Amino acid sequence: MSRILVTGGAGFIGVNLAHRLISEGHHVVVYDNLSRHGADVNLEWLRTAFGDRFVFVPGDVRDWKAVKQAAAGVERIYHLASQVAVTTSVSNPREDFEINALGTFNLLEAARDVADDPIFVYASTNKVYGAMNQVGVIEERSRYRYRDCPAGVPESYPLDFHSPYGCSKGAGDQYTHDYARIYGLRTIVFRQSCIYGPMQFGVEDQGWVAHFLIAATLGRPITIYGDGKQVRDLLYVDDLIDAYELAVQHIDVTAGQIYNLGGGPDFALSVWAEFGPLTEELLGRPVAVRRGDWRPGDQKIFIADVRKAERGFGWRPRVSPADGIPRLLRWVQDHRHLFRR
């Protein structure tokens, strides 16, 4: 079994990944500063499930000394810790840069310096492609669709960092990719699209699927920015973790590569024109929303072309929104006390 470091390990994706890895018998170091709402709940979930079968290290990725200590001797690093909201990056770009760019640099240097020839997995974002205003988009009754790329956006699409968040995550994306070329690190970059699932404490700025379900369940206000026909491809968190594990198993193919990970064309929904009626059907009642202006850099449509991942390591998403959204809603309803804090 491997010794594995998961940064942001008490976050939504991190805690689901840690749970999977600990269940498989790996020695997992969960590294997190517990700054995000819900991180303490997620950490307690791990402790309830596994007791002392994992190590929790409270720490910040900006702290080089702490990062170096946490990474000592590990064989895998999943770097998930980040500042995750575009709006926060606009209001505080320095903090955004230090967490996302400097933090990633610290982890890469620790991988070179003290880890045990690790596999380094970096959670990037589709925001590295920017607003994509030059892509042909056709407006339909309940959604937008691409005119020229029906399979979605490929990894070869030009980068266009739009917003401080796009810049900082893009810097980490490119640093991780280049450390494979320059230093021979076995790195994998995943440009992720709209991940959702249990243990997600979604808020308006990030994690919109969970945010809408939490707000609708508790009767809180929901604001739809733009016309609500923006399209995103939804990826259930279990499918994402399957991709992480398969990519590591095929490291001879995946080392030094970049992959788009999302639900692809088959698992795409518009954020309210289609998601709203589905939510109302699941709840059995209407859900009131208010409207706001379009937000800067908001893509009218993003769908990932995930065929490279299928070719490279045999992965494709399997949990459809029709299955995954009710699963997440049940988790929210069963844990509604957590959202009343």
For the question of residue 165 being annotated catalytic, the response is yes
Helix 12-23 / helix 237-249 crossing angle, nearest 10 deg: 60
Strand partners, 230: none
- 141: Cβ–Cβ under 8 A, 6 or more apart, which residues? 273
Both tokens assigned to 127: 């925001």
Structure tokens of 291? Answer: 């409207």
Query: 317: helix, coil or strand?
Result: coil
Nearest to 111 by CA among 69, 71, 62: 71
Which stretches of the chain are assigned E, i.e. beta strand? 3-7, 27-32, 55-58, 76-79, 119-125, 137-139, 144-146, 186-192, 195-196, 223-225, 231-233, 235-236, 257-261, 268-270, 290-292, 301-302
Take residue 321 and report the two structure tokens written for it.
Answer: 């929104």
Q: Which of 63, 258, 82, 85 is nearest to 164 (CA)?
A: 85
Q: Which residue in this structure is represented by tokens 């001797």?
A: 73
Task: State whether residue 30 is helix, strand or coil.
Answer: strand
Q: Which of 122, 146, 165, 196 is catalytic?
A: 165
Enzyme catalytic residues: 165
